Amino acid sequence: MSQSPSTCALDRQVSRREVLRAAGAALAGAGALGLAGCGSGGTTGSASSASSGSASASSSSASGQPKRGGSIQVAVGDASVSENLDPQRPWNQNNAIYVPLAWETLILMDAAYGLHPALATSWSSDPSLRRWTFKLRPGVTFHDGSPLTAEDVVWSIRRLFEPSLASPMYGPIAAVLEPKHVKAVDDHTVVATLTNPDAFFPLMFATTGTEIVKAGQNSFPLSKAYGTGPFRFESFQAGQGWSVVRNDNYWQPGLPYLDEIRGVSIPDPTGLVEAVTSGQSNLSTSISFSQVPIVRASGNAKVLDVPAYFDSYIVMNARHKPFDDVRVRQAVKLADNRRLVLQSAYQNQGVLTSDTPAPETDPFYPPSLGVRPQEITTARELLRQAGYPNGLELTLYTSDLLGGMVDMAVAFAQSVAAAGIHVNVKQHPAATYFEQIWLVEAFYTSWVYRRHPAIRVPTTLASYSAWHETQIPHTRVDALLAAAQATPDPALQKTRLQNLLLWIANNDGYASAAFENMVLAASRNLEGVTFPQAKGPSLVGAWLA
């Protein structure tokens, strides 16, 4: 199978709730690592099928052959009354579970950044990296029986530009494409002609928030929640629960195995775990690391542990003082004892990083960065130079959106105190965190699923990002990313992305000690849960032993 010379740097190794003012996760099988099914410079690869149940980072080892039938219940810790069924508005863990049951993306990404065919069977670029062609899978139908065509894909891509959608993918895609330049050539071919070269363009369509919807559809009531996925919606009540049932006309033979999947809201962290250990539910969203021994001791449940799955971090918003001064941002980063945070908050269940959106094990991690030691003296001097000789008093907002997030904030506060940075940790309810804190306050915790740096950076860190969290008025990130996108040379791509991540580590308002493992509680007989990159856990191939 051909690999794209423009993207072979991907060969190795890694949403959100609506913003009220605007609105604001199925792994596939066959193919080599890298952009499997992808070609450029006139070469094209393809794959005839995909397997949504194939695992890239599964913590569930199946015993025996999958069994057909049965239903399961998912205990959800972060459901919100603001949710809806729009698959292109990624919000939280709940949404990241139910969306890919009913809707699908063109491409799927594994834990090593390899791309695999889903609704698209192949993708290729011309030598300039400006003209990308996607071939669609024939014979796919939506839940209402209508066929998937290129017009649906064109509509779905153009919809990402709608201001009312406030898509996290607006930043990455608008930087290289105008809506009028994505066109249907025939029923199963889509061509996108870019304004700027982008070797990483297909990565967008393996990311949550780029699910394909029916042409012309902008609203998604339960009665019209039509996707192409293995399940169709039976019920949905925002903030409370949902249910999906098997799609008997799904394009992948033999899938899904389950007859029904239900989601139920359990916002209390203790109750979330008890729902699984008691047998009432079969799976939870993420739990705190302190709850892992409880699950293991129950005898009725097991722990699914996925390394470095969450990019969980602290935002310093440069629109607010004191974070408009780069010396303050640098001081905060240097004052952090990241090994202490990893041990105390995550119980060593994570991978260290140094204030850049990639763990140290990532192939694009800057080799010169290493893992920063805590540098109290330097941090104090930077604060003095910035006009804070007596240190800082800060309020850090956080929430139990993820297991370990509140603990991370507390450990961070304890860590930086030695530099005279006194942090008051204020916990906010998860149900309104993204409406009232995120993108609003000066200092807060945030998270996304781990993503390839070429997609992760323009999602929240480029000047044109729809979710520009750090709000630093610069174009340096934009220029460094564009340089990486513009080359077909894998080695040069890697070097340029490393330079980009290094600049972020040294200058931006992104602070992170470690990428957090995702730990879930699951019933002992639940098998087939997989963990595609840039999305949530996939239950497409789940089954009951």
Res 63: pLDDT: 58
CA distance 536 to 519: 12
DSSP calls for 191-214: EEE-SS--TTGGGGGGSTT-----
Instruction: Identify the DSSP state of 535.
Output: S
Please name the residue that has the structure tokens 């596939």.
28
CA angle 264/269/275 to nearest 5° reads: 50
Residue 74, φ and ψ in degrees, nearest 5: -105, 125
Which tokens in the block code for residue 24? 């604001």
Alpha-carbon 305 to chain mean position: 17
DSSP calls for 25-57: --B--SS-SSBTTEEETT-----S---TB--SS
> Beta 231-237 vs 241-246: how paired, if at all?
antiparallel
Q: How many CB atoms lie within 10 A of CB 255?
A: 23
> Beta 350-352 vs 301-316: how paired, if at all?
unpaired
Which tokens in the block code for residue 344? 């105390």
pTM of structure? 0.86
Distances (CA, A) of 506 to 1, 51, 415, 477, 486: 40, 41, 19, 12, 24
Q: How many CB atoms lie within 10 A of CB 292?
A: 18
Residues sharing a CB contact under 8 Å with residue 220, sequence separation 6 or more, in sequence order = 84, 85, 86, 87, 213
Res 475: pLDDT: 81
412 near 341, Cβ under 8 Å? yes
CA distance 234 to 518: 28
Which tokens in the block code for residue 197? 């070269």
DSSP calls for 487-499: ---HHHHHHHHHH
Residues sharing a CB contact under 8 Å with residue 495, sequence separation 6 or more, in sequence order = none
- Pick from 404, 410, 418: nearest CA to 373: 418
Domains in the chain with CATH codes: 307-517 (3.10.105.10)
Report the amino acid identity of residue 536. G
Please tell me the number of Cα atoms within 13 Å of 344 on its side-chain side.
Answer: 17
Residue 236, φ and ψ in degrees, nearest 5: -160, 125
Report the amino acid identity of residue 306. V
Residues sharing a CB contact under 8 Å with residue 144, sequence separation 6 or more, in sequence order = 214, 224, 226
Residues sharing a CB contact under 8 Å with residue 333, sequence separation 6 or more, in sequence order = 354, 355, 372, 505, 511
- CA terminus-to-terminus distance, the chain: 35
Count of residues in the chain: 545
Query: Tens digit of pLDDT per residue, the chain (545 long)?
Result: 333 333 332 222 223 333 323 333 333 322 222 333 444 333 333 333 343 333 333 333 445 899 999 999 999 998 888 889 999 998 789 999 999 999 999 999 998 999 999 999 999 999 999 999 999 999 999 999 999 999 999 999 999 999 888 888 998 999 999 999 999 999 999 999 999 999 999 999 999 999 999 999 999 999 999 999 999 999 999 999 999 999 999 999 999 999 999 999 999 999 999 999 999 999 999 999 999 999 999 999 999 999 999 999 999 999 999 999 999 999 999 999 999 999 999 999 999 999 999 999 999 999 999 999 999 999 999 999 999 999 999 999 999 888 789 999 999 999 999 999 999 999 999 888 988 999 999 999 999 989 999 999 999 999 999 899 999 987 899 999 999 999 999 999 999 999 999 999 999 999 999 999 999 999 999 999 999 988 889 999 999 99
- Pick from 337, 345, 283, 270: nearest CA to 312: 345
Which tokens in the block code for residue 349? 């269940």
Q: How many CB atoms lie within 10 A of CB 482?
A: 19
Please name the residue that has the structure tokens 């799904």.
250
- Pick from 172, 35, 55, 59: nearest CA to 111: 55
- Pick from 69, 62, 74: nearest CA to 99: 74
